[in-house]
Amino acid sequence: MSQSYLSQYLQRTVQIANKTMKDIIFMRGVEGPVRSPRTMFSFNTPEDIKQYATGCDADIGGLSTVHLDLNTDPEVNRPIGKPASGVFWGDMRLKVKPGFEKKIRGGYAGFRNTNRPAFLFGNLLEDASNHEFLRLRLRVAGDPRTHTSYFVNIQTDGPVSSDLWQHRLYFQKKNQWEDVLIPFDNFVRTNSGEMSQTQISMYREKIRTVGVSILGGNSGVDGKYELGIDTIGLTNEEDIDSMSRPAEKDPEEVSLDEKTP
């Protein structure tokens, strides 16, 4: 194990141990569930960006491209009051490399957080059981045709590892930051790229990964895509301001053939 990986393991182990000790000392959970808003993932430093994996159809013969970088443009980041934010960008292409026609379907790209192992405590997971909404602070840009092709994906530590909970991202603004709220109850269960016929409740107590994908192949959309991302977190109805509106459930739009990373 390299020194950098060992340092990450130790850091995460200490993080979990400290949280456990604080919960014991302050008797958290005795007074009731903690419902205050909480950030799970940030995209504001080089270290933050390194915690995410990317993938696209080019991995299997497609022609799309994918990048997840740090954007330090002051004009972009001034509204959120931070020196930097993440930017998910690239080219969405429906065509594939010669020889792969009729073998694969092009038109997808995505990212998700990597597993966060802490060797004394297993993987670091997120508990969203006391929160009603997933909250993403995003800034959609790029070709306007791509704006309706984004999805958010959640993987839990449930009994079926190939299950992926999915919901389309709906935006009210263009080239501006906004909070996108999605009720956990509105996510749709998919498996191996297809909507599952059996829909069950998400295992929100143990969220393993959260990611975003763009699926142009479903709607026949190509072009340059760009999505700024500041944070992914949790919130409840009582903490939603008037500028944020929850997304509606639209299960008919969720079924897909592409594989997310």
pTM for the structure as a whole: 0.81
Strands 150-156 and 207-215: antiparallel
Name which of 177, 190, 182, 164 is nearest 247 in CA terms.
Answer: 182
Q: How many CB atoms lie within 10 A of CB 120?
A: 12
Name which of 54, 55, 82, 87 is nearest 70 in CA terms.
Answer: 87
pLDDT in tens, the chain (261 residues): 444 444 544 454 455 455 545 454 444 444 557 889 999 999 999 999 999 999 999 999 999 999 999 999 999 999 999 999 999 999 999 999 999 998 999 999 999 999 877 656 567 899 999 999 999 999 999 999 999 999 999 999 888 878 999 999 999 999 999 999 999 999 999 987 788 888 888 999 999 999 999 999 988 999 999 999 999 999 999 988 744 655 555 544 444 444 445
Strands 150-156 and 194-195: unpaired
Name which of 230, 242, 247 is nearest 132 in CA terms.
Answer: 247
Check if the beta carbon of residue 186 is closer than 8 Å to that of residue 249: yes
